[in-house]
Structure 1
Amino acid sequence: MSYSTDPRAARSREAILVAARRLLADEGPAAVTHQRLAQQAGVGRATVYRHWPRPEQLLLDVMTGADLPLFKEPATPVRPWLHRQLRQLADELMPPAVAGLSLTLMQSAIWDPEIARRRDESNQVISDRIRAAVRSAVDSGELATGVDPAELPAMLVGPVVYRTAMQRAEVSDDLIDRLLDGVGTWRR
């Protein structure tokens, strides 16, 4: 039986991911080491190394293992929906473990082409979803904007990431409203 289809390998991989999520939530990215994962998952350290030679690869799998829930299925009116999505993003990025992990992965993407590729895929999904929502708001007459659609994700998501991960500060609803006002004139 090949390694990729071996049910034991699949079980150990899932046990390691569960342990990584738990360690990440409880203690932050620094706790996600091969040794700690092996202990927590009840597998040998070599098994962890076989699945993930570098901790950054594991952290990326922990973060990107599920479908991105944010900015999915826009609702009308679009502005309150976008506000809720930005609020959820801000709230999810606030725990120190998540903020630290986000920064670790951003740094790792500079040198690791695989991490950069996966980061770019996630960014593309979020960008496409935001542009589709704003296009819907413009088409329905809810929003008048002259903003380049390519700039929208940076204008909306960028400040939230900076505020939470870099400044380690809360994102107020007032800030989210100002971000939304920056993309155009909303009909309320």
Structure 2
Amino acid sequence: MRLLASAGPGAVTPARVAAEAGVHRATAYRLWPDADKLLAEVMAETELPFLRDPVTPVRAWLRGCLRELADDLATPLSRSTTTTLMQTALHDARVATRRDALTDTLRARIDAAQNVAVAEGELVDRQDPDHLVAMLVGPLLYRTTLEAATVDDTLIDHLIDRAFPSPSTTGHKR
């Protein structure tokens, strides 16, 4: 992961990993015969620590989660991992499966937050979880990976207001 963050996916080779780990090159080549298999394994180990266990008020919880996600995506390691995952998934079924699992996890976590918000009266109507993920996470990915910029709190608040409109702004009462 350090190699990926510091020098990009091209640096994740068995020889470089062996040197970094202080083991013989033959050990690394036995485990990963080529760089593609090694990179796929690195990507398969990527975890998704965000958006777990929603709490009320959901909007405040979501604001904190999105802030954490945006800050993480702004780091070189996360930016490298994310862009490598997207690129490698185009050509590697194992990585595509991992990408799909990550997006399924995001969808399920956002949907769980939505269910809590509806149950607590913070949100009137449920929305398609796929749309919610696109509305909430998509702009963060765009800003951090394509623009290589940071995400400010104003953008996060705007995303939450659009994705999770409160009953008072939709004309519904609790």
**In the TM superposition, what whole-angstrom CA distance separates every residue of 1:62-111 from its partner, at most 9, and x where no partner exists?**
45536521111111111111111111111111123421331122011011
Match of 1:101 in 2: 81
Report the Cα offset of residue 128 of structure 1: 0.2
Which residue of structure 2 aligns with residue 171 of structure 1?
151
Per the alignment, residue 13 of structure 2 pairs with 33
The question of whether the paired residues in 1 share the 8 Å contact of 2:40 and 2:92 is answered with no
Counterpart of 2:100 in structure 1 is 120
Is the CA contact (8 Å cut-off) linking 2:2 and 2:77 kept in structure 1? no
Q: Unaligned stretches of 5+ in structure 1?
A: 1-20
Task: Calculate the TM-score normalised by the size of structure 2.
Answer: 0.84
Which position in structure 1 is the counterpart of 2:172?
none
Q: CA deviation at 1:35?
A: 1.5
Identity, % of aligned positions = 48
In 2, Cα distance between equivalents of 1:94 and 1:141 = 33
Which secondary structure does the structure 2 equivalent of 1:143 belong to?
Answer: coil
- 1:139 matched to 2:133? The reply is no
Separation (CA, whole Å) in 2 of partners of 1:156 and 1:63: 23
- List gaps (5 residues or longer) in structure 2: 169-174
Distance 1:144 1:58, change over 3 A: farther
Tell me the TM-score normalised to structure 1 length: 0.78
Between 132-141 and 64-73, report the one with greater CA deviation: 64-73
How far off its partner does 1:39 sit?
1.1
Matched, 1:51 2:35: no
What's the RMSD between the two structures over aligned residues? 2.2
SS of equivalent to 1:170: coil
Q: How many residues align?
A: 168
Cα distance in 1, alignment partners of residues 159 and 141 from structure 2: 13
Paired amino acid for 2:166 = W
Which of the residues 71, 88, 110 maps onto 2:68? 88
